[in-house]
Structure 1
Amino acid sequence: MRLPSMTTHSFQPASQAQAAARRQSATALQALLLRMHFYIGLFVGPFILVAALTGTLYVLTPQIESHLYATQLRNASQGPAQPLAAQVQAARAFLGPQARLFAVRPAKAPGWNTRVMFSQPGLGDSESRAIFVDPVSLQVRGDLIVYGTSGVLPLRTTLDYLHRNLMLGELGRNYSELAASWLWLGALGGVWLWWRARTRGRVQAARPLTARRLHALVGLWIVIGLVFFSATGLTWSRWAGERVNLMRAQLGWITPSVSTQLQPGAPAMSMGEHADHMAAHGMAMAMPAVDDPARFDMVQSIARAGGIDAAEIEIRPPRAAQQAWVVREVDRSWPTQVDTVAIDADRMRITSRADFASFPLIAKLIRWGVDAHMGVLFGVANQILMAAFGIALTGLIALGYLMWWRRRPAAGASLAPLSAAFMQMSLPQRASVLLLALLLGWNLPLMGASLLVFLLVDVIRYRRAGR
């Protein structure tokens, strides 16, 4: 009868030791996450703050831009629209024959102007010079530099550059990628720290609304949005974006595109009795230029007959012989209309197409995610939601710095160094954390590089504290 009692007593110290080891590992993990959360807020917080402010301004400006550039965008002319060929010729006459035609965006509705876009030296990537032509009177209503697939005008282009790279070119793109790389981890780490404090009874509903509690509440309200911003922002970043594109290509999640290369040697369609008469007399007939304005109307008609039915479309002439014209929908609101067709103008037929309905699911989700991030997917509702998240994130960062400022004299004593917290973990925990750090550092290179900086700062601080 005494054997069970002896067995129980013999195993009790081991059980207590295991429980103590688990508590120590959990405490060490919490200390590590707390220190990482602090470093992210202190060092990456300014970059996230700039991204939040510029992003909020960007999504709030479409209506301002529409009013600011009303003369260029709209007209009050009455009557039928002139052919696209005449509109293109009017834009060319305005710039001169040396201008290189890039694309045309026909007026999306009566009262709107057509954009005839040209490429020229000195413009940045994805920039073009747009001549705004009244489709009815053929008068030139404006001359502006537009940017990107969305065709944003100078005001939002400036905000876009601020948000993307602080107007510092490729070097500046590192700032936004650094912010996006750490944003999701800071958000999820904050939720985990709040949950741990709640399970230990440190979070009470009756507590006064201090800066710390308000910081936690705002973070909980917007955590899903922060993860969304981080994920969608990384898809078009420089270093992490390359990793994302590589993964998508390997998994077959790439966004389909049309082929613009035409098959050489195929017989062209007859140009009519006049052409046959000239051929019979041995007379050479000059082929039209690849960007002949007279072909825009025909190409648009072929695209419309082939299912390109969005109000907003873009027509791009080929850059060289044996290349197709490209007509694509550019309406990124809901429902998304981004179908694209390639057209052989000589044979008057569609040679390739990429319809949004046939996109892989991941490609669709990325398209929707990026458009929602930009505030264009659901119109004004999308703008308000994105702006609300941006304002909340700005307040969250401000509260974080307020907390740090108030506690700064004791901050070094209250937070264990990363290295000390890491060494207090169990061996499996350390191996898991190290493996996770390596994986994240490889897929998010700027996160990996900045993590090394965090560790360097931490080691220097630890050694100074030891002395």
Structure 2
Amino acid sequence: MTTVSTAEAAPMRAADRAASFYRAVWRWHFYAGLMTLPFLILLAVTGGLYLFHHDLDGLIHRDLKQVERRAEAPRKPSEIVAQAVASVPGRAVKYVPPESASASAEVTIRDAAGARQVVYVDPYDARVLGTLSDRGTVMWVVRQLHSLAYFGPVANGVIEIVGGWSILLVATGVYLWWPRRGGGGVVTVRGQPRQRVFWRDLHAITGIFAGVLIVFLAISGMPWSVFWGAKVNEWANGNNFGYPAGVRVAVPMSDDPLHQHGPTAWSLEQAKMPESSANPGQAIGLDAAIARFDALRLAPGYAVNLPSGPKGVYTGSVYPNDLSRQRVVHLDQYSGEPLIDMGYADYGLFGKALEWGINVHMGQEFGLANQLLMLAACIAIILLSVSAGVMWWKRRPAGRLGVPPLPARPGTLYGVFAILAIGGVIFPLVGASLIAMLLLDRLLSRRNST
């Protein structure tokens, strides 16, 4: 009979607990990857493309967006809009002045059925260059794919779940990577591509270097999510007609939110449109409104939403790479006076932080360096996904899913679940999916035990 002393048994128990915890983390890491990897590849590919959306759209649609730079003065905005409406019958709802001397003007027309078309016009001779459906550029399609917006709110909720699970993937991945004993695979790749250890090390090292960026992308992408983002937006910007605290809104307000008129900043999604004066006189017209926006020094590239009726306003909005120049101005269509004029400086601390995160997420805050850094993160996500798939394929038993084995102490699995559940409290959809995965794990465990 072999006798084990108390002093010897204690390290054995500690080692057993550590091994059980490692297996439990590995199992949950596997489930997180199983749920997210296909979506992460989609997000990485579409996100990497959209980082360069301005350049790519300009190249793909150059016949519509670019014109020959000329010495003559551009035509008046009203003439450009008139030519656009003559080409595509309907009501003009938005006008985008040329951003530069070699850019076309854009006029959005809404027809009798409510469909919108964007008409591109040469500003020098008011010649119509062509049309696209509203939000019909290639890069806008990429953006819609990135958020799964094409497939409705349920699919958009999946993106929210993927974002939360990505954070859990990084957290569990760091634990699995953490060096516990001597050997390679910490910052070097061992073996050859035909060996599983090569893909394991490549996966781990890529994850440890890109983990911070992946967590940042997941968190900064959450403001767009269908549930968490909407609720946080409501909490952060739900007062004062949806405008940031301190912005004067002592004017008549409609029930029409700003985001229904086109893309807007996250902090202004709930902002209501003000109304023009109750006793109108002669409307100032588009030409005077454009001159007023230029006098107010809106950054080049701004768009103008046209009044929707007798109480409507001219709304000039611009969201450039430089956050300090982000701005929205509503003009009374009769007096031409600004009713509301706000910018990034007016947002609260929370709104500023989220807008900054969104700007960096989209590769806009620090120029080309920002784009390349986010592109590197996208490439790392694709590499992580591919290496995870190869590693799983080489490890899995034939004809089986290859779920990592249960820990020797099954209760450890629920201990790890309790830790991960903290993220589920912060992101409720993630929490719901976490419970679903726990039920799936119990089902798989029962099937394997019978």
The 8 Å contact of residues 314 and 330 in structure 1, kept in 2 or not, is answered as no
Task: Note if 1:384 corresponds to 2:372.
Answer: yes
2: CA distance, partners of 1:130 / 1:363: 31
**TM-score between both structures, scaled by the size of structure 1:** 0.78
User: For 2:153, what is the secondary structure of its paired residue?
Assistant: coil
Task: Note if 1:261 corresponds to 2:274.
Answer: yes
Task: Note if 1:50 corresponds to 2:42.
Answer: yes
Residue deviations 1:5-24 (CA, integer Å, cap 9, x gap): xxxxxxx96x9888776655
C-alpha displacement of 1:220: 1.1
**Aligned residue identity for 2:275:** L
Over 3 Å counting, the alpha-carbon distance change for 1:54 and 1:255 in structure 2 is closer
Over 3 Å counting, the alpha-carbon distance change for 1:457 and 1:414 in structure 2 is closer
Give the aligned partner of residue 69 of structure 1. Answer: 61
C-alpha displacement of 1:413: 8.6
User: For 1:112, what is the secondary structure of its paired residue?
Assistant: coil
**Aligned residue identity for 2:418:** L
User: For 2:75, what is the secondary structure of its paired residue?
Assistant: coil
Q: Could you tell me which of 99, 105, 118 is aligned with 1:130?
A: 118
Task: Note if 1:298 corresponds to 2:288.
Answer: yes
Over 3 Å counting, the alpha-carbon distance change for 1:422 and 1:243 in structure 2 is farther
1: CA distance, partners of 2:76 / 2:277: 30
Give the aligned partner of residue 93 of structure 2. Answer: 102
Aligned positions of 1:82-161 closer than 5 A? 82-96=75-89, 99-120=90-111, 128-147=116-135, 154-161=137-144
Task: Note if 1:318 corresponds to 2:307.
Answer: yes
1: CA distance, partners of 2:11 / 2:101: 75
The 8 Å contact of residues 184 and 190 in structure 2, kept in 1 or not, is answered as no
Give the aligned partner of residue 243 of structure 1. Answer: 231
User: For 2:325, what is the secondary structure of its paired residue?
Assistant: coil
Task: Note if 1:444 corresponds to 2:411.
Answer: no
Over 3 Å counting, the alpha-carbon distance change for 1:67 and 1:413 in structure 2 is closer
Q: Could you tell me which of 390, 394, 415 is aligned with 1:402?
A: 390
2: CA distance, partners of 1:179 / 1:231: 11
1: CA distance, partners of 2:137 / 2:402: 50
Over 3 Å counting, the alpha-carbon distance change for 1:264 and 1:208 in structure 2 is closer
The 8 Å contact of residues 24 and 424 in structure 1, kept in 2 or not, is answered as no
C-alpha displacement of 1:433: 4.9
**Aligned residue identity for 1:185:** L
Task: Note if 1:168 corresponds to 2:151.
Answer: yes
1: CA distance, partners of 2:72 / 2:147: 42
User: For 1:260, what is the secondary structure of its paired residue?
Assistant: strand
2: CA distance, partners of 1:249 / 1:21: 52
2: CA distance, partners of 1:24 / 1:250: 51
* Stretch moving more, 238-247 or 179-188: 238-247
User: For 2:118, what is the secondary structure of its paired residue?
Assistant: strand
1: CA distance, partners of 2:78 / 2:31: 59
Give the aligned partner of residue 340 of structure 2. Answer: 352
The 8 Å contact of residues 259 and 342 in structure 1, kept in 2 or not, is answered as no
2: CA distance, partners of 1:68 / 1:407: 44
C-alpha displacement of 1:57: 3.0
Residue deviations 1:144-194 (CA, integer Å, cap 9, x gap): 1242xxxxx521122222222174233432342232121111012101221
C-alpha displacement of 1:303: 2.5
Over 3 Å counting, the alpha-carbon distance change for 1:442 and 1:319 in structure 2 is farther
Give the aligned partner of residue 357 of structure 2. Answer: 369
Q: Please provide the CA RMSD for this pair.
A: 3.3
Give the aligned partner of residue 199 of structure 1. Answer: 180
User: For 1:110, what is the secondary structure of its paired residue?
Assistant: coil
User: For 2:274, what is the secondary structure of its paired residue?
Assistant: coil
Over 3 Å counting, the alpha-carbon distance change for 1:121 and 1:404 in structure 2 is farther
2: CA distance, partners of 1:421 / 1:247: 42
Q: Could you tell me which of 406, 431, 440 is aligned with 1:417?
A: 406
Gaps of 5+ in 1: 1-11, 148-152, 272-286, 289-293
- The higher radius of gyration belongs to 1
* Stretch moving more, 85-94 or 352-361: 352-361
- How many residues matched? 412
Task: Note if 1:226 corresponds to 2:214.
Answer: yes
Residue deviations 1:371-399 (CA, integer Å, cap 9, x gap): 33233444443333222221221111111
**TM-score between both structures, scaled by the size of structure 2:** 0.80
Residue deviations 1:434-461 (CA, integer Å, cap 9, x gap): 3751x53354343233223322221122
The 8 Å contact of residues 258 and 342 in structure 1, kept in 2 or not, is answered as no
Give the aligned partner of residue 150 of structure 1. Answer: none
The 8 Å contact of residues 78 and 136 in structure 1, kept in 2 or not, is answered as no
1: CA distance, partners of 2:343 / 2:233: 20
Residue deviations 1:245-279 (CA, integer Å, cap 9, x gap): 244348989825865323755x66xx7xxxxxxxx
The 8 Å contact of residues 317 and 328 in structure 2, kept in 1 or not, is answered as yes
Residue deviations 1:206-237 (CA, integer Å, cap 9, x gap): 77252111111100111111011111222101
* Stretch moving more, 172-181 or 227-236: 172-181
C-alpha displacement of 1:361: 3.0
C-alpha displacement of 1:238: 0.9
Give the aligned partner of residue 4 of structure 1. Answer: none
